[in-house]
Amino acid sequence: MTVTLADVAARAQVSPATVSRVLNGNYPVAASTRERVLKAVDELDYVLNGPASALAAATSDLVGILVNDIADPFFGIMASAIQSEIGGPGGRAGGERLAVVCNTGGSPERELTYLTLLQRQRAAAVVLTGGAIEDAQHKAAMDAKLRKLADAGKRVVLCGRPQAPETGAIALTFDNRGGGQELTEHLIRLGHRRLGYIAGPEERTTTRHRLEGHRDALAAHGIEEDPRWTVHGRYDRRSGYEATLELLRRDPSLTAVVAANDSVALGACAALRESGRRIPDDVSVAGFDDLPFSIDAVPALTTVRLPLAEAGARAGRIAMGREEAPPGGITSVRGELMVRGSTAGPRG
């Protein structure tokens, strides 16, 4: 049989109430008693029953982290930072919290279901990372859920995700639009006039914002965009490879390719190289995010660095109530343009 609080109490010759208080440490217990209890806990190798405790106390020490793709370092880095602040074992925080990383795979249903599951577990807080899905119906459902969580006193923090007004969520958004603009601006200043753009999945906020930034830059410089220059795909290498081939087919005269993120950019590089083009001599390539491997591409990737770890850490702290929410419950985090070898002026 499993050891219960009562067993410990019996062994320590105290009441279950006292054992509970020793374990939770929020009520005065005489030092000698405490010791006796701790000794019994140790001897019996007692492990608290989490569900029972959560039920009785009406709170749990689970914290949910929703990510779109856990195999993508973009999310891995954020999740890692969030978790380190959540105060899991060894974290800075006192209590021992269990971070629950949920991989939605970018699916609306899973996103929603995970939120319900978290709600069901009475999670103490929830952090949602990365871009949101822009389907109106889904968004309404999500907002309702978030609202409900917030109303139940859970802290809901969005990290790299646009604010959902009226949901009570705190948002740390990335300035994807500004970053996208700056990046394209950089290419335009280098002299590029025919720029391909490999966007992410259509219905993502991240995709839209980055693309808008790109177009802002084009417009600001009076460059009329050719519809053939934009291709949508997934946020992975493969997609970048395929999209680039498509772009080259549509317009072989492109002198620059801007990718939705670094992985996509790597795929683009591979495709360009296979088509016999040199980077950046024939075609410049730019990414987004500045993931660790980007600097190792050859040539190193020009990209926009997003402070993933910092933002995640902050989101984690806010979720735990250890840092104040930004005024208005929202703040935008800027990216930083990293100019490296993969971009240069077009030939001629």
Partner DNA sequence: GACGTCACAGCAAGCGCTTTCTATGTAGAC
Partner DNA sequence: GTCTACATAGAAAGCGCTTGCTGTGACGTC
Under the criterion CB under 8 A, does residue 1 sit at the interface with a second copy? no
Pairing state between β 256-259 and 284-286: parallel
d(CA 209, CA 332): 13
Instruction: Provide the residue type at 16 as one letter.
Output: P
Structure token pair of residue 272: 């360009």
**Of 35, 42, 43, 57, the one binding DNA by CB under 7 A:** 57
CB of 3 to DNA, least distance (A): 8
The partner in contact with residue 6, picked from a second copy, DNA, none with C-beta cut-offs of 5 to 8 angstroms by kind, is DNA
Under the criterion CB under 7 A, does residue 30 sit at the interface with DNA? yes
Under the criterion CB under 7 A, does residue 136 sit at the interface with DNA? no
**Of 2, 89, 153, 328, the one binding DNA by CB under 7 A:** 2
Strand partners, 67: 103
d(CA 329, CA 309): 20
Spell out the residues 6+ positions from residue 265 whose beta carbon is closer than 8 angstroms to its own: 240, 257, 259, 285, 286, 287, 288, 294, 297, 301, 303, 342
CB of 228 to a second copy, least distance (A): 26
Helix axis angle for 237-250 and 262-274, nearest 10°, is 50
Under the criterion CB under 8 A, does residue 220 sit at the interface with a second copy? no
HSE-CB at 246 with a 13 A cutoff on CA atoms is 17
**Of 80, 167, 255, 302, the one binding a second copy by CB under 8 A:** 80
Task: Give burial (CB, 10 Å; 0-12/13-18/19+) of 276.
Answer: exposed
**Of 10, 44, 70, 190, the one binding a second copy by CB under 8 A:** 70
| Three-state DSSP class for residue 1 | coil
Ranges within 246-285 binding a second copy (CB under 8 A): 263, 266-267, 269-270, 273
User: Are the C-beta atoms of 286 and 303 separated by less than 8 Å?
Assistant: yes
Under the criterion CB under 7 A, does residue 119 sit at the interface with DNA? no
**Of 38, 44, 53, 134, the one binding DNA by CB under 7 A:** 53
Under the criterion CB under 8 A, does residue 103 sit at the interface with a second copy? yes
Binding site residues, DNA, CB under 7 A: 2, 4-6, 13-18, 20-21, 23-24, 26-30, 32-33, 48-49, 52-53, 55-58
Binding site residues, a second copy, CB under 8 A: 2, 45, 47-55, 60, 62, 69-73, 75-77, 79-80, 83-84, 88-90, 96, 98-103, 105, 107, 109-110, 112-114, 116-122, 148, 152, 236-237, 263, 266-267, 269-270, 273, 292-293, 295-298
